[in-house]
Amino acid sequence: MPKGQPIAVPDDGLTTRQRRNRPLVMVHTGDGKGKSTAAFGVGIRGWNRGWKVGVFQFVKSAKWRIGEQTVLERPGSLHEETGEGGPVEWHKMGSGWSRTRKHGDDVDHATAAVEGWQEIKRRLAEETHDLLILDEFTYPMKWGWVDVDDVVATLRDRPGFQHVIITGRNADPRLIEVADPVTEMTKVKHPMDAGQKGQKGIEW
């Protein structure tokens, strides 16, 4: 896309401005590092534009308080105090569970995931947010806890102007089909390969 120009212009009857300002479904997938971090970066941009930002985490434990949460919640507080930027909400969906599924059983996790998705559907229907970040949301779909076809239909038919970012490995092909930009993070090297665990400031 030289100089920011699209390779092709569809014959869809829309003006350049209308086509440019359509709400997007964005998917960050793949085995590489940085999927959530990139999504939270968009959240910061959105806050700066005055958007109502909602973050919904599905996999990371509810006991964790990752760095991005503090970084995004502080601007949300600043908005409440001064009106600058936009409001920010951060939600740990369900009881909090990780990829290892150590807390509770599969029924508990599935129920929590379904409840979380139903809450997001309500918010989409009510146009509560301008940007929704569904962090690690590919996993409940992969494990069959949330119906992929329901997700696709809900995203496709959402009203108003609502951007949605979904992160996580192994994005379902049906989700990729309905998405606009899809980025696959490819792992080339990772410290874990050499036995080094995550560290403060890099992973959280």
Three-state SS letters, 57-114: ECCCCCCCCCHHHHHHHHHHHHHHHHCCCCCEEEEECCCCCCCCCCCCCHHHHHHHHH
Rounded to two decimals, the pTM is 0.85
Q: Residue 2: pLDDT above 70?
A: no
Residue with tokens 């059983």: 105
Q: Residue 96: pLDDT above 70?
A: no
Ranges of each domain in the chain: 22-184
The CA-atom distances, in angstroms, between 173 and each of 57, 133, 169, 181, 182 are: 21, 19, 12, 13, 11
Structure confidence at residue 98 as a pLDDT band (50, 70, 90): very low
| Confidence (pLDDT) at 20 | 76
12 DSSP 8-state letter: S
For 22-184, the fitting CATH number among 3.40.50.300, 3.30.70.3280, 3.90.1170.50, 3.30.470.10 is 3.40.50.300
Q: Residue 65: pLDDT above 70?
A: no
